[in-house]
């Protein structure tokens, strides 16, 4: 399934975050953790309590296909000093975030609060602009409407894609633990989209999450990882779930939820290679990430339109630094 409708407008629903410290991640622009917990023996310099930090990532995926760049810059303040591995990586940070795709662009402000090495809370608020190309934006009067890749391509060819703008609010958390070479983490995220849709439309297809989502409502997503750290190489398993919270007002009068949009479930291997991790470098922790997952549940990708044997595959390159 290589529909043109899903090519450059689509973006990874589960990829590409760069650590600012062991276990830290950025939650802006709908991008969950794909980074690797830092090794205990990674070199470390004395970083002042108040400092700047940046992260950059580029990524591509298939099923559906997508391409994007994710960027952020922060001013960070370390909350307190501690030699304990469970406490020493703490900070509060604020700064601009951006998410760029050939089909749309987002940008705004993000806040990250990490009181402990194992826990991070974050929020971002972004303005978004859809360009009306690559068969996007497509919106519908009901969640029950057909939003398959084939149908999106047909609608795009018919000229129904349109320019729009709006906002995105993202709330997220990250909980992770590491014992020896084994790391476990969970990364729940909640999204609220508010776009200017066509008159009569209540929902739209969101290519980053690969889901039909309610306008002015909420969508939830979570990635859970079990990882083994072997030096520069990290291998493991990722389970992902995404679901929309549709409300009665999201359906036309007389229509109801008939179960056409189940929660999406995927599972598969996670592989990452970090070339170096030295905190005193401006260009630090360059990492290649490969994730391949098979759909356990999806309206179209478990045999209805796309064979369940075809995996969701994402490849990314990411790096970070402290200027």
CATH for 17: 2.40.160.40
Report the pLDDT value the prediction gives residue 13, as an integer from 0 to 100: 34
pTM, two decimal places: 0.87
Residues 105 and 119: their CA atoms lie apart, in Å, by 29
pLDDT tens sequence across 282-318:
899 999 999 999 999 999 999 999 999 999 999 999 9
**What percent of the chain has a predicted confidence (pLDDT) above 70?**
86
In contact, 266 and 158? CB cutoff 8 Å = no
Under the banding of pLDDT at 50, 70 and 90, the label for residue 9 is very low
Q: Domain total for the chain?
A: 1
Report the pLDDT value the prediction gives residue 116, as an integer from 0 to 100: 94
Closest alpha carbon to 220 in 201, 193, 195: 193
Report the pLDDT value the prediction gives residue 88, as an integer from 0 to 100: 87
157 φ, ψ to 5°?
Answer: -65, -25
Does residue 37 surpass a pLDDT of 80?
A: no
Report the pLDDT value the prediction gives residue 14, as an integer from 0 to 100: 34
Residues 94 and 76: their CA atoms lie apart, in Å, by 7
Q: Give the 3-state secondary structure of 82-129.
A: CCCCCCCCCEEEEEEEEEECCCEEEEEEEEEEEEECCEEEEEEEEEEE
Residues 87 and 199: their CA atoms lie apart, in Å, by 51
- Is residue 69 classed as helix, strand or coil in its secondary structure? strand
Bridge-partner residues for 176, per DSSP?
Answer: 185
Report the pLDDT value the prediction gives residue 298, as an integer from 0 to 100: 97
Output the average pLDDT for the chain: 88
Does residue 184 surpass a pLDDT of 80?
A: yes
Of the ranges 23-37, 116-130, 167-181, which one carries the lowest mean pLDDT score?
Answer: 23-37
Structural domain range at position 14? 4-321
């Amino acid at each position: 399934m290589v529909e043109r409708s899903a090519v450059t407008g689509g973006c990874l629903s589960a990829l590409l975050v760069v650590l600012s410290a062991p276990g830290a991640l950025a939650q802006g622009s709908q991008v969950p953790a794909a980074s690797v917990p830092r090794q205990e023996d990674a070199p470390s310099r004395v970083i002042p309590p108040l400092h700047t930090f940046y992260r950059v990532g580029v990524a591509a995926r298939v099923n559906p296909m997508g391409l994007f760049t994710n960027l952020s810059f922060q001013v960070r303040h370390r909350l307190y000093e501690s030699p304990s591995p469970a406490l020493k990586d703490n900070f509060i940070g604020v700064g601009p975030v951006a998410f760029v795709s050939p089909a749309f662009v987002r940008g705004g402000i993000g806040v990250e609060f990490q009181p402990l090495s194992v826990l991070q809370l974050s929020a971002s608020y972004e303005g978004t602009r859809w360009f009306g190309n690559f068969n996007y934006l497509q919106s519908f009067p009901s969640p029950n409407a057909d939003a398959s890749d084939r149908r999106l391509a047909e609608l795009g060819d018919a000229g129904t894609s349109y320019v729009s703008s709006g906002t995105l609010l993202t709330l997220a958390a990250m909980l992770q633990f590491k014992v020896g070479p084994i790391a476990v983490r969970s990364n729940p995220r909640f999204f609220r989209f508010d776009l200017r849709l066509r008159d009569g439309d209540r929902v739209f297809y969101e290519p980053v999450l690969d889901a039909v989502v309610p306008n002015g409502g909420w969508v939830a997503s979570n990635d859970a990882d079990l990882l083994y750290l072997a030096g520069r190489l990290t291998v493991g398993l990722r389970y992902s779930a995404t679901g929309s919270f549709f409300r009665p007002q999201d359906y036309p009068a007389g229509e109801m939820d008939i179960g056409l949009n189940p929660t999406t479930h995927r599972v598969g291997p996670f592989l990452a290679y970090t070339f170096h991790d030295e905190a005193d470098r401006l260009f630090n922790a360059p990492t290649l990430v490969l994730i391949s997952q098979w759909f356990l549940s999806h309206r179209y990708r478990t045999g209805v339109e796309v064979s369940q044997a075809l995996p969701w595959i994402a490849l990314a390159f990411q790096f970070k630094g402290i200027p």
